[in-house]
């Protein structure tokens, strides 16, 4: 039997909640079993442990059953390295096979031309069903070749999003394509440049370019033609770079989508011009401030322009510090006091968590929209 770490998609993305390893002998004492490493040795986890008595990575129970040691954990991120310690034995993250519920067994791996994507299909879908198209954020795509090449997995595992849609709304299709990223794309970005100088490459080979989004639209149109997808109930959402892709998709596929939820979308002159001209239902969300310091002014301007031109279904939510703290975002004393703005802005970027957890009924609103034309 292999060492297996069982995971799900939680608020931080892929999280481990129980482990099983081959075991001969007596059940070890609970105090001899723990996790160590970057995944659990953070200021935030130390604060949660101190203030709540339990924190991600804490061992909740151990049990030996049929030659297997079962270890239940307070869910802990799998984004950073961790080591399981059982007495004198140490097992690194690389020693485990990770099995992720729903993602592994319900999302089909598909490739059509240049588009590599994962697709959840509703069980017993005999009639056309709605679809959510999810566009991942920057750093969660793949590359043409070499280390970290396209694995058609990272877009599912990195963040709270498409897998949770499939679990929360099992009656709809969930499509999660992976875009191709340029390895130097983010190094060259001027994150907090003057707005007029800001840019996000629209190179057709990389990112959520109009060319690539057009290919994704072709796949959806084919599924509509085949009678799988309801043409009146197709929705698009994404975060950060994928939020910008969501905005751009409302230009590329303006005839296709009933509504959109761009989350903390990268704002450039191009995406600003598209966003302020959208005439279909759109609900934009972001934190009150995050790592793109100029973002919020242009989100407000764009939504006000939409409403001024008659789009009464144009909405904007900027999550407050208190609303983010409900989801353990920016909760440590140093961040709340403003002692580390870089980390505060980084964590605040996670505004997709309250959005996709249906704060303000945003996801309910999205799935209730119907395209009549």
CATH value at residue 252: 3.40.50.1820
Question: Which domain-ending residue is among 78, 99, 120?
Answer: 99
pLDDT tens-digit profile of 31-74? 999 999 999 999 999 999 999 999 999 999 999 999 999 999 99
Together in a domain, 15 and 130: no
Give the SS3 label for residue 139: coil
**Does 372 fall in a domain?**
no
**Does 192 fall in a domain?**
yes
Total number of domains in the chain: 2
Together in a domain, 173 and 303: yes
Together in a domain, 177 and 238: yes
pLDDT tens-digit profile of 83-139? 999 999 999 999 999 999 999 999 999 999 999 999 999 998 889 999 999 999 999
In the predicted structure, residue 242 carries a pLDDT above the cut 60: yes
**What is the mean pLDDT of the segment spanning 156-175?**
97
Question: Which domain-ending residue is among 57, 76, 99?
Answer: 99
Together in a domain, 256 and 127: yes
Together in a domain, 134 and 94: no
pLDDT tens-digit profile of 308-320? 999 999 999 999 9
Give the SS3 label for residue 176: strand
Pairing of strands 115-120, 173-178: antiparallel
Together in a domain, 122 and 265: yes
CB 86 within 8 A of CB 35: no
**Does 353 fall in a domain?**
yes
Question: Which domain-ending residue is among 37, 69, 99?
Answer: 99
Look-up of token digits 């031109």: 309
**Does 228 fall in a domain?**
yes
**Does 373 fall in a domain?**
no
Look-up of token digits 């070749």: 145
What is the pLDDT, as a whole number, of residue 103?
96
Number of H helices, E strands in the chain: 13, 16
**Does 269 fall in a domain?**
yes
The C-alpha atoms of residue 324 and residue 12 are separated, in whole angstroms, by 13
Together in a domain, 44 and 152: no
What is the pLDDT, as a whole number, of residue 272?
95
**Does 182 fall in a domain?**
yes
Give just the sign of the alpha carbon dihedral 207, 211, 217, 222. Answer: negative
Report the run of H or E that residue 103 belongs to, with start and end: helix 103-106
Look-up of token digits 């970027």: 349
Together in a domain, 72 and 189: no
Together in a domain, 87 and 147: no
What is the pLDDT, as a whole number, of residue 223?
98
Together in a domain, 37 and 120: no
Give just the sign of the alpha carbon dihedral 185, 187, 192, 196. Answer: negative
- Residue 188 — pLDDT band, cuts 50, 70, 90? low
| pTM of the predicted structure, to 2 decimals | 0.95
What is the pLDDT, as a whole number, of residue 183?
75
| Closest to 134 measured CA to CA, from 23, 236, 29, 30 | 236
Together in a domain, 115 and 211: yes
**Does 259 fall in a domain?**
yes
Hey, which residues does 222 pair with through a beta bridge?
none
Together in a domain, 30 and 133: no
The C-alpha atoms of residue 71 and residue 84 are separated, in whole angstroms, by 10
CB 180 within 8 A of CB 114: yes
Domain residues for the domain of 36 are 4-99
């Amino acid at each position: 039997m292999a060492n297996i770490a069982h995971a799900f998609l939680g608020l931080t993305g892929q999280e481990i909640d129980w482990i099983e390893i081959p075991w001969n002998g007596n059940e070890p004492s609970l105090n001899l079993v723990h996790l160590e490493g970057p995944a659990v040795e953070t200021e935030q986890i130390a604060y949660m442990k101190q203030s709540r008595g339990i924190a991600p990575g804490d061992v909740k129970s151990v049990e030996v059953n049929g030659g297997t040691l079962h270890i239940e954990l307070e869910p802990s991120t799998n984004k950073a390295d961790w080591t399981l310690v059982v007495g004198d034995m140490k097992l690194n993250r690389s020693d485990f096979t990770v099995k992720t519920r729903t993602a592994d067994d319900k999302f089909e791996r598909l490739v059509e031309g240049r588009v590599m994507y994962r697709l959840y299909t509703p069980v017993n879908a005999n009639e056309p069903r709605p679809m959510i198209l999810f566009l991942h954020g920057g750093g969660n795509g793949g590359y043409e070749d070499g280390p970290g090449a396209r694995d058609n997995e990272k877009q599912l595992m990195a963040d709270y999003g498409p897998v949770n849609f499939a679990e929360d709304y099992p009656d709809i299709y969930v499509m999660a394509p992976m875009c191709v990223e340029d390895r130097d794309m983010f190094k060259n970005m001027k994150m907090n440049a003057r707005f007029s100088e800001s840019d996000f490459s629209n190179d057709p080979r990389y990112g959520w370019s109009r060319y690539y989004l057009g290919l994704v639209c072709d796949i959806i149109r084919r599924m509509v033609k085949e009678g799988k997808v309801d043409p009146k109930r197709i929705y698009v959402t994404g975060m950060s770079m994928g939020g910008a892709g969501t905005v751009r998709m409302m230009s590329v596929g303006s005839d296709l989508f009933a509504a959109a939820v761009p989350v903390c979308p990268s704002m450039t002159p191009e995406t600003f011009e598209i966003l302020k001209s959208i005439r279909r239902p759109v609900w934009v969300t972001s934190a009150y401030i995050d790592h793109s310091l100029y973002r919020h002014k242009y989100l407000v301007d764009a939504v006000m322009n939409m409403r001024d031109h008659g789009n009464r279904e144009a909405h904007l939510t900027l999550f407050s510090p208190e609303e983010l703290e409900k989801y353990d975002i920016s909760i440590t004393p140093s961040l709340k006091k403003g002692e580390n703005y870089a980390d505060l802005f980084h964590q605040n970027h996670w505004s997709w968590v309250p959005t996709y957890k249906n704060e303000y009924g945003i996801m309910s609103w999205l799935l209730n929209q119907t395209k009549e034309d």
